A and B are shown apart, each in its own frame.
Chain A
């Protein structure tokens, strides 16, 4: 198993956001976590990236290593887990190119960095055009492309994506998910968190349904898409 999470508990200011959930992601998979706003989806990703502290008893194993032994920056540079955060969180005062290059800060595989950069710019040619522009001046769609490109530059073993569809027009959304599929085909395992359940389940092979900090359901995407409860609650 590439990444397995067991009994993950997270609290914010004494209020528990995740009540001990367990899930896993296999090499090369596309997995999604769907659920309503506030169900704890983002929290799960932040816990993996070590941006929020987890409670005792939580276990996370990545490639046989105890993920909790790694601080946030080492989760990226040593375990190869990148994260496209909610709201993109680009460095608006840096140029597009600087955003991409900063993500390679800890990498020492110079040749490979060049290849990855070329790959990002070929998947998102718009970024090539906007190379010297400040990231803060990009349109919403371009920002999402840069956020994904930046994550890919930082690490490409596993990519965590937090609501990449947010604020995007349908056409743009499609092309972003196409690009993600490409990256997945090239070997990047994807764990996606989405409010847009239909989109997420069409993209992913497997899914988990998160409700109020607990896992309610899990299964193959087709099963979940056909499940009457999922249909009623998330697919409208």
Chain B
């Protein structure tokens, strides 16, 4: 039984990463009807920005210029990196996708892949072909709860992720910005008639998704401190699957699907040899999608309303 709960804890942690990234995929898909295939690399950029901010703050503290306790460095790192990565996301939208708003969707998909490659190789060019180590900001403490080992990091990762997801949900449900996003997901053509600039909402959507990806990147860096420029690729694909599984534009869907993905992966690895993990895990998801092709909360595609 303890073995089961041990895996459950791990599944929650991985589910948090997947869900945070899947949300960005899903929102962009919902609002703009395009897959941002560079999103996994935005996660990578977020992790690196987090690495930069955290290292800077640590260095600053060690010179004695400022006295910041480690937990506040971590919080600052998360907040500052989310803002900076949001900015990166907005640039990606502005340069990569906005000119293609009315182009065939395939053009946007290709552009996404290209942006991903640019971000990866840009990172290589900038930092060189070496892995970097995310500063260990919090001392790892392990609690033994009835035979289940839980680290303070894991608890923090899950709690921060859930808080962010809740905050996003509130934002989309309660603010006028969120209202405009939902409206745009429904019928983007008439959104300007409400006095709302679709460009602003597109940028906002990218900013929100990128900020969450940055948070995922930093939390990942805390748990698995070795970063490399290609770390976003596999995460990107998996989060993409979670976004599809959750249903177009559904926040609840992407969250649940992200966690479900974590669970399936961990529990498949618990039963089968770990080399077969992805094969079996994604076969299960393929099976789910066969019966629910629009995902958990997706609506069947209507031909997008046009003039």
- Chain A residues packing against B (C-beta within 8 Å): 46, 49-52, 71-73, 76-77, 82-83, 85, 89, 91-94, 98, 101-107, 150-151, 154-155
Contact = CB atoms under 8 A, between A and B. Distances in A.
21 contacts: A46-B307, A49-B193, A71-B192, A72-B192, A72-B193, A73-B194, A76-B194, A82-B193, A83-B193, A89-B305, A91-B182, A91-B186, A93-B183, A94-B186, A102-B179, A102-B183, A103-B194, A150-B194, A154-B194, A154-B195, A155-B195
Interface of B: 176, 179-180, 182-183, 185-187, 189-190, 192-198, 305, 307
Contact of A154 (B182, B187, B193): B193
The DSSP consensus for interface residues of chain A is: loop
A101 B179 CA distance: 9
A12 to B, nearest CB: 9
Contacts of A92: 186
Contacts of B197: 71, 73
A199 B229 CA distance: 66
Given A89-B305, A92-B186, 16 more contacts: A51-B192, A71-B192, A72-B192, A89-B187, A91-B182, A91-B187, A93-B186, A94-B179, A94-B182, A101-B176, A102-B176, A102-B179, A103-B195, A105-B195, A106-B195, A150-B194
The 6 closest A-B pairs by CB, nearest first: A72-B192, A106-B195, A77-B195, A76-B195, A73-B192, A91-B183
Nearest to B198: A73
Contact of A102 (B180, B185, B305): B180
A52 B307 CA distance: 9
Nearest to B190: A89
Contacts of B193: 49, 51, 72, 76, 82-83, 85, 151, 154
Contacts of A83: 193
A204 B198 CA distance: 33
A103 B186 CA distance: 15
A45 B117 CA distance: 44
B196 A102 contact: yes
A95 B194 CA distance: 15
Contact of B189 (A51, A82, A103): A51
Contact of B176 (A46, A52, A105): A105
A183 to B, nearest CB: 17
Nearest to A76: B195
A94 B183 contact: yes
Contacts of B195: 73, 76-77, 103-107, 154-155
Nearest to A81: B193
Contacts of A91: 182-183, 186-187
Contacts of A52: 307
A103 B179 CA distance: 10
Contacts of B185: 93
B192 A76 contact: yes
Nearest to A98: B179
Nearest to B191: A73
Contacts of A82: 193
| Interface hub of B182, B194, B196, B198 (most chain A Cβ within 10 A) | B194
Contacts of A107: 195
A37 to B, nearest CB: 16
A77 B191 CA distance: 12
Nearest to B299: A93
Contacts of B179: 94, 98, 101-102
A107 B196 CA distance: 10
A163 to B, nearest CB: 14
A151 B193 CA distance: 8
A78 to B, nearest CB: 9
